[in-house]
Amino acid sequence: MRSETSLVDRLYQFTFLTFRDTLGGKPGYTPQPPLPPLPAAAPRLSGVPDYEHEAMHYGHRYRGAFILNFSLGFVAVLLALIPLTGLLSEHTLHRAAPWLTVAELATIVSILLIHLYGRDPVTYDSKSGWLRAIGLRRINQGWRQRWARARLAHEHVRHASLMLGFPGAPLQAGGMLKDRYADIAATLQQAAARCAPAPADAGYRTAYRDYFLGQIRDQARYHRINMHRCHHIHHRLHHTASVCFYLTLGVCLAHFWLHHPLLSVLAALLPALAATCHGLLATGEFQKLAQQSHDMQAELAQLEQEVKTDQGATLTTLHEQVGKFFSLMVEDALGWHVTLSDKDLATA
């Protein structure tokens, strides 16, 4: 099911991508040889929902939402402190005060609405009757849970061609979906049942192995980029929080020689910025995700070497290698889910 992209969704997407590219950096352009195509004779999976779009949709919602909430929390503190800076004349402050109050109220309400609409339905549905009674009928959408579900399904669909196209007979997949996501498993099994077995001649086996190697390299490149991005985000947020701490210390010491309201404002604002950074670090778990991508990159490099070394390997060996690759991809998706499983959208 393809979800509509609204103005709010574009805001979440813009927030997340800007945050990621600004703090994590954009990957440097390195010319890559084109990936070997899937052999023409290989079966193609068809008639399945667009899980990739759904995963991106809810992934942008969830990640953009928690970045917005922590950022808006800092903005609310800033708006509250502006009248105390001593930089505005009494006349200007008198005229601006109502607008500052409205802006702060709008900021707080925005944080609350993001939390209400994106939070976990399992935890909050039983407590939300009165909210629905006043008109908030679409709350508790569970963006993180929907993202995890769609991403796991997409990993199965994305590598279905590799599993279905195995020379001679398709490889079985979907075991990790049977319990919690039985509906997705049933959909994929029905689509796979419509596919004819792939050929097993020498030419097809060579083309299939080349395609398999290309998929390994493509995933290794993705994890290399993700590892560096997550590491940079973690480092820069942590560094910013540390700088705020020492600046706050300096501002407090400056009070002994300087007496200006702005110093008091900075003494409150800098810890608020540090708290925002720590909130983003705790919710995003960027260091853990960087380590996960580092480990995945090492596993994929080892697997690539095995496949390249065993060019004349039997189908049994190739079967084991493809199965290992597929398990790594699905376990990676599950790893993201486990890492972020207790990171529901918070108000602050």
Under DSSP, the state recorded for 137 is T
3-state DSSP assignment of residue 167: strand
Is the residue at 66 inside a domain?
yes
Q: Which one, of 240, 234, 251, lies nearest residue 275 by Cα?
A: 240
Residue 185 to residue 152: CA distance in whole angstroms = 11
Is the residue at 251 inside a domain?
yes
62-90 burial by CB neighbour count: b if 16+ within 10 A, else e? bbbbbbbbbbbbbbbbbbbbbbebeebee
Contact 88, 100 (CB under 8 A): no
- Residue ranges in the chain whose pLDDT is less than 70: 1-4, 28-31, 173-179, 312, 348
pLDDT at residue number 310: 80
Contact 41, 199 (CB under 8 A): yes
Question: Cβ atoms within 10 A of the Cβ of 44, count?
Answer: 11
Is the residue at 38 inside a domain?
no
Question: Cβ atoms within 10 A of the Cβ of 345, count?
Answer: 23
- Element housing 316 (H / E): helix 315-339
pLDDT at residue number 4: 59
- Distances in Å between the alpha carbon of 196 and those of 47, 212, 335? 15, 19, 33
287 backbone φψ class: left, alpha, beta (φ>0; ψ -120 to 50)? alpha
C-alpha dihedral, 232 to 217 to 160 to 286, nearest 10°: -10
DSSP-H helix ranges across 255-311: 261-284, 286-309
Residue 339 to residue 93: CA distance in whole angstroms = 46
Is the residue at 245 inside a domain?
yes
Is the residue at 182 inside a domain?
no
Residue 325 to residue 163: CA distance in whole angstroms = 10
Is the residue at 348 inside a domain?
no
234-263 burial by CB neighbour count: b if 16+ within 10 A, else e? bebbeebbeebeebbeebeeeeeeeeeeeb
pLDDT at residue number 129: 80
Residue 198 to residue 164: CA distance in whole angstroms = 7
How many independent structural domains does the chain possess? 1
pLDDT at residue number 176: 59
Q: Work out the burial of residue 269: count CB atoms within 10 Å of its CB; fewer than 13 is exposed, 13-18 middle, 19 or more buried.
A: buried
pTM: 0.90
Q: Which two tokens mark 164?
A: 């279905």
Is the residue at 345 inside a domain?
no
Is the residue at 69 inside a domain?
yes
Could you tell me the residue range of the domain that residue 104 belongs to? Answer: 8-29+50-170+197-339
Q: Which one, of 227, 326, 237, lies nearest residue 281 by Cα?
A: 237
